Amino acid sequence: MTKKKPQQQVPLDFGYAVPKKEGDPYVEFPGEAPLTVTNEPEEKPLHVTSGEEAKATIYDLKVFGDEDTFQLVCKASSASQGWMKSTKAMQIDGVGCVVQVTTQHGDEIAEALTFVPGVRIEAIMHKDEVVGRKIVKIKTS
């Protein structure tokens, strides 16, 4: 998927987008390819499953820290129906996981967060590729 490029003049964190000439919707930033900006917020991409994919999909994404602190355990979404459900977990080595469940339908979002002691995240592999994750009990000796 390519990054969406918006369409009208708006204020930005570092100033304002200014058209190159009267009536031209494109703006130019030093060292950057022309892009357009809009006052309309973009729809949230429901299919994104990692920080790396978000960086490639969302043109103005800003990140502080490790965007993959919470690892995606499972996700289901439908862009045509406007819904998404996901489970993410943050592992605390040797202790357990913080688990977050998110349900989004249109503009409505519900989230739940809890700590689950004595578990860890385990990758589900297929041909050297992570295709999912599961939460399993920490093995004790």
> In the prediction, which pLDDT does 140 show?
82
* Cα(114)–Cα(52) distance, integer angstroms: 26
Closest alpha carbon to 102 in 83, 120, 117, 81: 83
141 residues of the chain, pLDDT tens digit each: 444 444 444 445 544 454 444 555 554 445 444 445 555 556 666 677 777 777 787 777 788 888 889 999 999 999 889 899 999 999 999 999 999 999 999 889 999 999 999 999 999 999 998 888 999 999 887
> In the prediction, which pLDDT does 42 show?
63
